[in-house]
Amino acid sequence: MYVPFLDHPRPVAFAHRGGAAHAPENTWAAFEHAIKLGYAYLETDARATSDGKLMAFHDRNLERVTEAEGPVNLKSYREIAALRVAGSEPIPLIEDLLGAWPDARFNIDLKDEAGIPLLPGVLRRTGAWDRVCITSFSGSRLRSARKLLDHPVCMTTSPGAIAAVRCSVGTGLVGTGRAQEPPTRLLARRLAEAGARCAQVPGRVATRSFIRRAHALGLDVHVWTINDRAAMTRFLDAGADGIMTDDIETLRAVLIERGQWYPRTGA
């Protein structure tokens, strides 16, 4: 099935949190650096403020990267907007990021339940349906988001589906009578019905066997978070469809060396 978000030459290079090795994570400075390098895909996180704004912020609490303390979702947008990551960089709105670069694609990790009902409005106002992929470590958050989205959107597999992919086999039949079908085909159908178009997994999961099984199910495989040159090469050689990295300069150099660097249109 055609998926606009994935309509880009493989392998895909993702700037994880904008490219956190070179600028404070999930900030304008990070995303702008990735855009200048030609990155077509930006990865970020989404958390809600107490008054219903969707921010690009990873942690539940503020203290690791800002001067403030406590949960993000107990602060108003005005309070969050006044904070600075690493003492210098403001925290962006997801909506502003989507609007800033209409030719860039965003991988958005839903970090809390409160952000889910805010997402459809953000995508509607920015017209970004075809250039986002929604991911989460929570299967329930993915299911909730899918129910609320009133337009097709690329989504990743749930943790449960990843486990199923790891155990998938291509023999035998599932069901009875005319309903029988090979288990691989059954799993592929269920993944498609759930809108899952890619499996985004840590390096320890992305074995050659896993990548082969995912491809048989019609899934792209994106591996995170790979900051070592040798590991980047290893996963690319294994057939990974994308790499997420904080070290966006090194990944770009590796892909250029391999003749596999595909910058965004207009870069």
In 185-209, which positions are buried (b, 16+ CB within 10 angstroms) versus exposed (e)? ebbbeebeebbbbbbbbebebbeee
Q: Is residue 162 within a helix (H) or strand (E), and if so which, with residue range?
A: helix 159-167
State the Rg of the chain over Cα: 19
Q: For 27, list phi and psi in degrees, rounded to 5.
A: -120, 165
Place of tokens 């003749």: 259
Query: Is the separation of the CB atoms in 247 and 21 below 8 Å?
Result: yes
Residue type for position 223: V
The CA-atom distances, in angstroms, between 240 and each of 82, 195, 202, 266 are: 40, 20, 12, 25
Q: Which of 8, 22, 33, 58 is catalytic?
A: 58
Q: Is position 16 annotated as part of the catalytic site?
A: yes
Q: Which of 16, 22, 151, 215 is catalytic?
A: 16
Distance (Å, rounded) from C-alpha 97 to C-alpha 107? 12
Q: Is position 8 annotated as part of the catalytic site?
A: no
DSSP annotation string for 29-93: HHHHHHHHHT-SEEEEEEEE-TTS-EEE--SSBSTTTSS--SBGGGS-HHHHHT--BTTTBPPPB
Structure tokens at 148: 């609320």
Helix 28-37 × helix 248-258 angle, to 10°: 10
Omega cis (within 30) before 120: no
Q: Catalogue the active-site residues.
A: 16, 58
